[in-house]
Amino acid sequence: SLENYDVIVIGSGGAGLAAAINAHDLGAKVVVVERMSTIGGNTIKASVGMNAAQTSYQQEKGIRDTKACFYEETLKGGKFKNNPELLQQFVERAPDAIDWLAKQEIVLSDITITGGMSIDRTHRPADRSAVGGFLISGLVRNLNQRHIEVLVDTKADSIEYQQGKVSGLKVIDEYGESRILHTKAIIVATGGFSANAKMVEHYRPELTGFVTTNHKGATGSGITLLQNLGAATVDMAEIQIHPTVEQQSAYLISESIRGGGAILVSQAGERFCNEMETRDKVSAQIIGLAEKSAWILFDEQVRSQNKAADEYLAKGFAIQGESVEDLATQIGMDPKALAQTLATFNQAVRQQQDLQFGRTTALRHPLDKGPFYAIKIAPGVHHTMGGVAISTQAQVLDTHHQPLKGIWAAGEVVGGIHGANRIGGNAVADIIIFGLLAGEQAANWVKTA
Ligand code: ADP
């Protein structure tokens, strides 16, 4: 059967869906292919929110922020390894991406903070629920309104590309049958490779045996597919481990819990770091503990203000104690040590000065309202900062920095934006910003091609 499209989007995460909607709205006939049987990729698991500076929502709340500050803090968090032009594009387009979502009735009007940032700029749903499910269901609603097709259980195998021209995409369906979908343009939005243990080990041998927070589809197949056409890759060894992962389920405990005022304590009942440091630093501190794991600890006030916390309670991750001593006893911790740790921390909150570890953000309120909760966590493979090289217009670049004509990429499959460490809330921003850009560029290119 002959299937003809203007633009094929590979991958149904946030980047792919944003690209598909934007390309459609600019007049292209679009289809999305997704290897898994469900839509949403790893995006659906995103927890904390979407970073942007100088947004209307920040203004409404009286939060003063600048794009320059967002740029600097992302660069610092990325250890100055970020591609400056891509980062500039990212920061510049972030407020428009928030507005674009709002126009599609995907409203991220509540604002919190993540590690490595000095200002509340992480936008999330008004009810403070996890951003991923909210975002994907909103995008799918928009896809359906426009009757944009998504072929699930359909894996992109190779791009038909000759003499600098895309003619089609070879896909393999759930029965192992292959066929060609005809198209002029392709957007690769296949996500990262955190769930490909071999690939992770290849680039970072010391991460062997780590759990991953990612869904099974995060195998990096899009990177291989593009490398076969001569695409360049960057920063492939920059793999992020997330500090707070529940180990039995490999479920990520959102940074919004710490952002809401929680602390980390060791089995000895002591704080051991500034909990609001970047993920790489907090992870390294946990791995440095004798037990290589820690407890994320919070009180009733943090719980009552964070929807994610309820989810963790429902999943049975949290141990609950009516008092600090009760909780300590249940988790095999010295009650006196834990009580002392909380007293010291609560004093730091009252004075807004953490003399022990220099935490300056999310010193929200004293942790003194029972019940108290603790979730055991350790780091897990979470995000691959590296990936294919793109231009500031999301064109895939070859090893000579020349665009592969007719091919764009967006989202975690791309490398360079986050440098050596991604800040929480910057992945969702990345996928929407560059997804929209790739969709726009591909649709406009098809019109003139
Ligand atoms: P991003 O956050 O960059 O949007 P996600 O991980 O959310 O990335 O989504 C990427 C999607 O791409 C996943 O749903 C994944 O299953 C899908 N995918 C990965 N490789 C392929 C492939 N070769 N063919 C089709 N879909 C793919």
Residues with Cβ < 8 Å from 147, sequence gap 6 or more?
Answer: none
Beta-carbon count within 10 A of 66 CB: 12
Which residue of 172, 190, 407 sits with most ligand 1 atoms within 8 Å of its CB, as the best mutation to test the pocket? 190
Determine the pLDDT at residue 449: 80
Determine the pLDDT at residue 318: 97
- What H or E segment, with its residue span, contains residue 246? strand 239-246
437: Cβ below 6 Å to ligand 1? no
Which residue of 8, 32, 34 sits with most ligand 1 atoms within 8 Å of its CB, as the best mutation to test the pocket? 34
CATH fold group of domain 3-193+385-448: FAD/NAD(P)-binding domain (3.50.50)
φ/ψ of residue 157, rounded to 5: -105, -50
Determine the pLDDT at residue 209: 86
The answer to whether residues 282 and 275 touch, using CB atoms and an 8 Å cutoff, is: yes
How high is the ipTM of this complex? Answer: 0.99
Question: Which atom of ligand 1 is least distant from the CA of 41?
Answer: 14
CATH 3.90.700.10 domain span(s) along the chain: 241-381
**% of the chain with per-residue pLDDT over 90:** 96
- The protein residue whose alpha carbon is closest to atom 17 in ligand 1 is 11
Determine the pLDDT at residue 3: 85
Buried b (16+ CB within 10 A) or exposed e, 144-178: eeeebebbeebbbebbebeeeebebbebbeeeeee
CA–centroid distance, residue 1 to ligand 1 (Å): 25
Tens-digit pLDDT profile for residues 93-131:
999 999 999 999 999 999 999 989 999 999 999 999 999
CA–centroid distance, residue 102 to ligand 1 (Å): 24
Assigned architecture for domain 241-381 = Alpha-Beta Complex (3.90)
- The protein residue whose alpha carbon is closest to atom 19 in ligand 1 is 190
Tens-digit pLDDT profile for residues 309-354:
999 999 999 999 999 999 999 999 999 999 999 999 999 999 999 9
Of 163, 444, 132, nearest to 124 by C-alpha is 132
> Which residue positions in the chain have pLDDT lower than 70?
1-2
Our separate counts of H helices and E strands in the chain read 14, 21
220: Cβ below 6 Å to ligand 1? no
CATH 3.50.50.60 domain span(s) along the chain: 3-193+385-448
